[in-house]
Amino acid sequence: MLCEKCGVAPATIHLTTIVGGEKIEQHLCAACCQKQKQALTMAGMSTLLLSLLKGASGVPDETVTLRCHSCGQTFEVFQKTGMLGCPKCYEVFKEHLTPLLSRIHGKTSHTGRVPPDTFEQTTMARRLESLRRNMDRAIAEEDFELAAQLRDEIRAMQPAKEPSSDELDSIDNVAVACPDDVTCGEVSADA
């Protein structure tokens, strides 16, 4: 096999890189591999971002007309420069930024520090999110007693005036389907 970069020397190095969960295989000769490593070593953040933007697939054509009403930045210019114009751009371009953030960071939710004025609200939101995840896991594992407990905790944390969501009500009665699609059990969590 010849080196896929220069196409002259035999490929003696077989590289596997994982970027944002995507596996990329390369077959290179020693000289081209060295060049690539040097380039990678010195690549900066923006270089990384621009390469991700360039290689981004699934970004539909209509994004070129997306414009932030607050600062005037367009998604098209952002794709070339990697720079947003103002904090509002994150809302306007949200749909297209989310997959990009996922590719850069592997995740799309902040778990770090919060400003003092939003501390209580954020702590509550994170606690609710964690309870919901645990409840989903309990349901998946058919531990309905735990799921009901978690549901009650979630309800207790939500404001009284807010009606219970369908999602929460739906676990009062849980149907479990076997892989062959035959219902094999029904459990009432309040029972």
Partner 1 sequence: MLDDSLLQKASESVMDNDVAISSRMRLARNFADLPFPGFMDMEQAQESVRRCVSALSDTLTPYALDKLPPLKRMILVEKHLISRDLLKTPERSAAMISSDEKLSVMINEEDHLRIQSFAPAFELDLAFAKAFEADTRLQEKMNFAYDTDLGFLTACPTNTGTGMRASVMLHLPALTWSGEISKVTQAVSKLGLTIRGLYGEGTEAQGDLYQLSNQVTLGRTEEEILSDVKTAASQMVEWERRIRAALHAGDKINLEDRMLRALGVLERARKITSKEFMQKWSAVRFASCMRVIPHNISVIDDLLVSAQPASLQSQASETLSDEQRDIRRAELVQSRLKV
* 11 near partner 1 (CB under 8 A): no
Binding mask 109-128 for partner 1 (x = CB under 8 A): xxxxxxxxxx--xx--x---
Among residues 168, 125, 124, the alpha carbon closest in space to that of 147 is found at 168
* 99 near partner 1 (CB under 8 A): no
**Six-digit token pair at 93?**
């371009």
Let me know if 104 is exposed, middle or buried by CB neighbors in 10 A (0-12, 13-18, 19+).
Answer: middle
Closer of 7 and 72 to partner 1 (Cβ): 72
Closest separation in Å from C-beta 2 to partner 1: 22
Number of residues that bind partner 1 (CB under 8 A): 46
Q: What are the two backbone dihedrals, phi and then psi, of residue 176, each rounded to the nearest 5 degrees?
A: -115, 125
Binding mask 34-63 for partner 1 (x = CB under 8 A): x--x--xxxxxxxxxx--------------
Closest separation in Å from C-beta 71 to partner 1: 5
Using CA atoms, how far residue 102 sits from 48, 57, 60, 84, 109, in Å, is: 14, 13, 17, 17, 9
- Which of positions 161-180 make contact with partner 1 (CB under 8 A)? none
Residues near 42 by Cβ (< 8 Å), separated by ≥ 6?
none
Closest separation in Å from C-beta 156 to partner 1: 21
* 30 near partner 1 (CB under 8 A): no
3-state DSSP call for residue 189? coil
What single letter denotes the amino acid at residue 133? R
Which residues bind to partner 1, rule: CB under 8 A? Answer: 17-18, 34, 37, 40-49, 70-73, 82-87, 90, 97, 100-101, 104-118, 121-122, 125
